[in-house]
Structure 1
Amino acid sequence: MPGGSYLTYLTERAETHMCSPDHRPDTPRAGADRRLFLRATAIAGAGSALAAAAGAAPAAAAPATPERHDWRPDRNSPRFTLAVMPDTQYLFDSATINPEPLEASLRYLLHRGRDENIVFMSHLGDLTENGRPNEFAAIGEAFRLLDTNRVGYSVLAGNHDIKSSTDDQRGRTPYLDTFGPKRFRGSPTYRGATPDGYNSYHVFHAAGRDWLVLALDWRPSAKGVEWAREVIRRHPKAPVIVTTHELVYADREGDEAQFSEFGQRLWDELIRGNDQIFLTLNGHYWPAARTVRKNDDGNDVHLHITNYQNRYYGGAAMIRLYRFDLARNTIDVETISPWILGRAEKQELNELEAQEIELTGPQERFNVSIDFRRRFAGFAPVTPRQPRPASRMLLPGTLAYWRFDSGHENGSPLTGSDRIRDLSGHGNHLVTATAPGSPAGMLTWSDDHHPDQPGHGSVRMLGGKAPLRGTYFRTVADAPMNTATFRSGYTLEVFFKLPAYWESGRNAWSGLIGRRGRNGDAGSTIGDPEEPVAALNVSDAPAPQWAVLPLNREGIATNWGDELRLDTWWHLAVVNDGSHTTMYVQGCPVARNPNAKVTGIGTLGLEWLVGGFEYGGQLDQVLDGWLGDIRIVAKALPVSKFMMAD
């Protein structure tokens, strides 16, 4: 065991810190106080279910009772959890067998598996203290909880599980008898092992893709390392997590992790040359620590050590939860003790337990920022979405559909003779209009587009307000849509992007799409009569705003979105079901959608503007940005039918 005697550690810690009469921290109790203490863990609800597993006090070993659970992770959600359990050796030490903490952690995975979308668990070795048959019999029985429910997990041998002076060619051992390939034949994630049985690999499916876990022996031989390389080669698009017992360590709490001698060898022989390896996990040493190193491709590899055998009750089978969130490009890491949590449900905790329910230091609770798409691009690039034909976008009720992928050369200007044809077939065509005094070349074709846009093209508009300039679009004078009232509902969709230099003073309140005509002339008696009857704008934030004079009200009704990132393509939709209007950004509803009843869109029979905004019946602003596909449908569409989704 590195770092000295566990008994010595506990004695010194008790004498100098926790058990001193002058240092008696408040003890969390079951109920509201404990839940407040655990507010970040979101596991209070599982406590009562785990309490039975924990027991009222340490007790002699008892066989684990297999339980049946509905283990079905959501394999397509962008959020999933990988559980990690380090050294449990002091719970399985000769005649001292205490499986309760480990069973509590395994039951946590079963009880919380669906809520936290736990897809896999990795044990980091040193399952036992001496590698004896009775120790392995006890821990093997505990792991039946996962086997019975076909939960994917991996184990590997630490230096206490086998003779530490040997490598993976050591032959038969109690470890191999208990956790060898035979055990995993029914596992949903197990894919194979080295002929010696000491190195294995698993594949779990999460966030819509396969992830590869290598569980490497305490000392993989040259054959073992070459086997690992070959496994990676056979899975060329899978991100890889390497688990092994020893790799990095830190001398003191707060130190950055560094390679051990063996860890440096494994880095040089396996990790640095395989770009698919983005995360490594190991135990063996303490304190917990981490570091980041660049591989041969110049990409980050995150190297983490987690081990709590030096803490109360041998670490109490504490688990670390790696909560992957591909939508946020983040891994949120948390460290908890389900066993102590279960005990807190039944009784007051002792002073040592009270400090171990959840570890909140910077090495136990932290976030890892990873741009997953960019990090994995070298071996699994995202295939750009192909253009979709216009006919596929013509849903029943489509009144107008405009797109800008007509094959013109990127950067070439639009001329007065260029007409944007309404692909719906209803004759709502667009023609260009220019603010007086504007220079030429203010409206050009562009190849830029939203990645989920059906048409792979856009128009680049160089408009502004001070001074007023730019070229925009309007519907033809006889367009049927000019008089449409949309009494039964509508869906307006537009793809757009604002430039990085966008400024509120020059560009605020530019229109994406709207309808000409003063709302005062259309019967409004409330608010500013100079506002147009309908306008989907970009405010000064910049944020999207839909302001419309409905048929059933005497004033403007408004929906507001949140602030938009610049130099980013967005999909914006406004949906009215005949009674209420909801704005969506990237298919997500915004918060400021009013509950007021709104029906239809007021009209004076005038044209619609695209990229232009009127105030007081006069052109007031021209968009500075990019416009992609635009569709208007005379009914409410579900998100699943938006252009970015269909």
Structure 2
Amino acid sequence: MCEQHDDDCPQPVTPLSGPARRAFLRSAALAGAGAAAVGAVGISPAAAAGTDGGAGGAAADAPVDAQGMPAWRPDRDSRRFTLVVMPDTQYMFDEPSITTEPIEASFRYILEHAREDNIVFMAHLGDLTQNGRKPEFDGIGRAFEVLDRKGVAYSVLAGNHDIDSNTDDRRGRSAYLDTFGPQRFRGKRSFGGATPDGYNTYHLFQAGGREWLVLALDWRPSPASIAWARKVMADHPHSPVILTSHELVSADIPGREAEFSDHGRRLWDELIKGNDQIFLTLNGHYWPAGRSTRRNDAGNDVHLHITNYQNRYFGGAAMIRLYHFDLDRDTIDVETLSPWILGRNSRDLNELERREMELTGPDDYFSVPVDFDRRFARFAPIPQRPARPAARMVVPGTVAYWRFDGSHKDGAPVPGGQRVKDLSGRGNDLTLIPAPGAAAGSVSWSGQYHPDQPGHGSVRLAGGKSPLRGGHFQTAADAPLNRATFRSGYTVEAFFKLPADWDGGKDAWSALLSRWGMSGEARKPKGDPQEPVVTLSLSGGRELQWCVYPLDSDGSATNWGHELTLDAWWHVAVVNDARQTTMYIDGCPVVRNPTARSIGLTTLNLPWMLGGYAYDGKLDQTLNAWVGDVRVVDRALRPDAFMIGR
């Protein structure tokens, strides 16, 4: 439905890698490392807790004005941010009945929650007023001044009640243009520009480490303005675009999928479907709220949302919709509320207000899954991190560094006896030992790799247990690594991916990295005497397990990870600071890191295995996974020094 008693009301016609990860390693991961890790690597407690501040972030203690309002200072690098949407407010600005309290309450909410929700922009969807008269615009124009004084980035556009609805944007001067024309936005950092008529504008904001563009289109943009909008996007070819328009889609019946109006179909055909940058459209005008998804010419989803509450109690009470973007979760969480009602004393609320303070229907409170990197890949691809030379990865203390890149053809078999050089220069080369009777090609070179991996390649180990399949790599009998006890600490790192068909019932307890030699032989009376003295294994629940027999203990010490997603690349690091051991997955410390003292690694001077696990002194299982770069360092490294971060 659209605004009642409108003669001109048209009828509607009948569905996180890359740079961010490295930034995280420099900040958030360090905060969770725990006191032991802080002490081990020389990080100050303040830095570890993230209280040292950082460029681009919001200040820890944002200044406030005389009214106690915090400064509007969004964190432009945070991967969580909020776009606020305000639909039709016309019934509150209907001369001579002008009521400003609800919209003022919404603006105060935006300012008060700006830091908590990292609010970066607000978009009004038109029909600011009922009759488009000067006194109505004077009232709402004054209300917006609180946002102007604080420098809040926002956009407005003309709805059919704000201007002569029988005209397009070539209509000339109006009370709307006098109040909300381009002159109001000049000098704002977010203002990009306007059409010569002043009725169409575009705005830019920084969030999640990139630039986003908001197109605010007139009630009826002319062909020249449609061409202008195309040029704006062409001039900002890497910016995702949110298109706002007063009219685009409608949903006559609650819960029914939104459909294009005649004008909306024109915008879709002439502007939206051919411009892949537009991923989200927002419009008011109609009620009830609704949404839909359409595929554009590039085969990508465009989310089409209508939000309008003027038909509800108190003309919608200046309700706002909050679009909470979370780029790491690949999700936009949406909620709808009335700050004016929420801010009132609960004892004074009437029956209708109690129903309207927050809306939780499926078209008012929902989540939208968006794989942002994939969705924006055509026009703003994430730059691929280049391969890094091995010499850069051989940090002081490196005792072994293996990688599987080079000139190998993707899918080519790795022959038995193939040697993989230890790039640390310490002589700990690996040799492939095929499983007895293993089929040719069950170990192969691969062009796949973790996006933050130094070497652009891996080895595919198609291993198993019953019968043994694939193969494993092993150090030579006289390799220096076999004798190393790591009494002063260590860091063990590996990149790996478990295939989609990885089966906990068949592949459990295979090892990424392990050491020959049973704990019983090492005279460790507490524990399983037949298990290896060192192993980095995978449980049936796809949890990483670092189970070792330290030098200073009669039993084992075990770190546990969490369930890992299949068919996805991971990085694991196990760090010992000569006191205790911490496991990190993708640079983040896991919860089950024991606080017990743990010094060094027991050795029987026997070889290490990559992709093999021995039990009772015999090869028991081989790994079913891709393995990328593996590095062993004889000291504790900070997370920002891991291969994933450097």
TM-score by structure 1 length?
Answer: 0.88
Report Cα offsets for 1:31-55 as digits up to 9, x if no partner. Answer: xxxxxxxxxxxxxxxxxxxxxxxxx
Distance 1:240 1:541 in 2: 41
- The 5-angstrom pairing of residues 290-369 of structure 1 reads 290-344=291-345, 347-369=347-369
Q: Secondary structure at the match of 2:84?
A: strand
**Are 1:131 and 2:132 an aligned pair?**
yes
Amino acid at match of 2:238: K
8 A Cα contact 1:67 1:145, kept in partner: no
8 A Cα contact 1:279 1:301, kept in partner: yes
1:407 alignment counterpart: 407
1:78 alignment counterpart: 79
Q: Secondary structure at the match of 1:231?
A: helix
**Are 1:156 and 2:144 an aligned pair?**
no
Provide closer, same or farther for how the CA distance between residues 523 and 348 of structure 1 changes in structure 2, counting only shifts above 3 A: farther
CA apart distance, 1:154: 0.4
Q: Which moved more, 1:243-252 or 1:293-302?
A: 293-302
1:109 alignment counterpart: 110
1:476 alignment counterpart: 476
CA apart distance, 1:277: 1.0
Provide closer, same or farther for how the CA distance between residues 185 and 540 of structure 1 changes in structure 2, counting only shifts above 3 A: same
Distance 2:449 2:197 in 1: 53
- The 5-angstrom pairing of residues 467-616 of structure 1 reads 467-616=467-616
CA apart distance, 1:315: 0.9
Amino acid at match of 1:198: Y
Point out where structure 2 has 5 or more consecutive residues left out of the alignment.
7-64
CA apart distance, 1:437: 3.5
Amino acid at match of 1:322: Y
1:617 alignment counterpart: 617
Distance 2:587 2:232 in 1: 39
Q: Secondary structure at the match of 2:226?
A: helix
**Are 1:218 and 2:219 an aligned pair?**
yes
Amino acid at match of 2:233: I
2:2 alignment counterpart: 2
Amino acid at match of 1:386: P
CA apart distance, 1:477: 2.3
Runs of 4+ that moved beyond 6 A:
64-67
Provide closer, same or farther for how the CA distance between residues 344 and 634 of structure 1 changes in structure 2, counting only shifts above 3 A: farther
Distance 1:102 1:3 in 2: 19
Provide closer, same or farther for how the CA distance between residues 107 and 3 of structure 1 changes in structure 2, counting only shifts above 3 A: closer
**Are 1:248 and 2:241 an aligned pair?**
no
Amino acid at match of 1:167: D
1:282 alignment counterpart: 283
Amino acid at match of 2:490: Y
Amino acid at match of 1:72: R
CA apart distance, 1:333: 0.6
Distance 2:357 2:427 in 1: 67
Percent identical among aligned pairs is: 62
CA apart distance, 1:66: 7.8
1:258 alignment counterpart: 259
Q: Secondary structure at the match of 1:285?
A: coil
8 A Cα contact 1:316 1:337, kept in partner: yes
Distance 1:536 1:397 in 2: 21
2:44 alignment counterpart: none
8 A Cα contact 2:416 2:432, kept in partner: yes
Point out where structure 1 has 5 or more consecutive residues left out of the alignment.
7-63
CA apart distance, 1:4: 3.1
Q: Secondary structure at the match of 1:187?
A: coil
- The 5-angstrom pairing of residues 370-389 of structure 1 reads 370-389=370-389
2:31 alignment counterpart: none
Report Cα offsets for 1:211-253 as digits up to 9, x if no partner. Answer: 1110001111111111111111111111111101111111122
Provide closer, same or farther for how the CA distance between residues 169 and 440 of structure 1 changes in structure 2, counting only shifts above 3 A: closer
Q: Secondary structure at the match of 1:121?
A: strand
Distance 1:83 1:470 in 2: 55
CA apart distance, 1:350: 1.3
Distance 1:87 1:577 in 2: 60
Amino acid at match of 2:231: E
CA apart distance, 1:5: 6.8
Amino acid at match of 2:594: P
- The 5-angstrom pairing of residues 369-448 of structure 1 reads 369-448=369-448
CA apart distance, 1:416: 4.5
Q: Secondary structure at the match of 1:212?
A: strand
Report Cα offsets for 1:263-314 as digits up to 9, x if no partner. Answer: 1111111111111111110001111011111222222111111001111211
2:62 alignment counterpart: none
Q: Which moved more, 1:94-103 or 1:148-157?
A: 94-103
**Are 1:452 and 2:452 an aligned pair?**
yes
- The 5-angstrom pairing of residues 624-639 of structure 1 reads 624-639=624-639
Distance 1:580 1:355 in 2: 55
1:142 alignment counterpart: 143
8 A Cα contact 1:65 1:145, kept in partner: no
CA apart distance, 1:417: 4.6
8 A Cα contact 1:68 1:149, kept in partner: no
CA apart distance, 1:553: 2.1
Q: Secondary structure at the match of 1:104?
A: helix
1:196 alignment counterpart: 197
Distance 2:517 2:210 in 1: 51
CA apart distance, 1:503: 2.1
Report Cα offsets for 1:524-561 as digits up to 9, x if no partner. Answer: 22121111111001111222111111223221111122
Number of residue pairs the alignment of both structures matches: 588
Q: Secondary structure at the match of 1:464?
A: coil
Amino acid at match of 1:152: A
8 A Cα contact 1:150 1:186, kept in partner: no
Amino acid at match of 1:243: T
Report Cα offsets for 1:19-41 as digits up to 9, x if no partner. Answer: xxxxxxxxxxxxxxxxxxxxxxx
Amino acid at match of 2:473: F
**Are 1:185 and 2:208 an aligned pair?**
no
Distance 1:65 1:168 in 2: 40
Distance 1:316 1:523 in 2: 75
CA apart distance, 1:192: 0.2
Aligned residues: CA RMSD: 1.9
Distance 1:598 1:448 in 2: 35
8 A Cα contact 1:517 1:606, kept in partner: yes
Amino acid at match of 2:430: L
Q: Secondary structure at the match of 2:502?
A: coil
Q: Secondary structure at the match of 2:495?
A: strand
Amino acid at match of 1:569: W
CA apart distance, 1:122: 0.3
CA apart distance, 1:570: 1.4
Report Cα offsets for 1:453-498 as digits up to 9, x if no partner. Answer: 1101111212211012332111222222222222232211101112
Q: Which moved more, 1:575-584 or 1:153-162?
A: 575-584
Distance 1:599 1:348 in 2: 65
CA apart distance, 1:567: 2.1
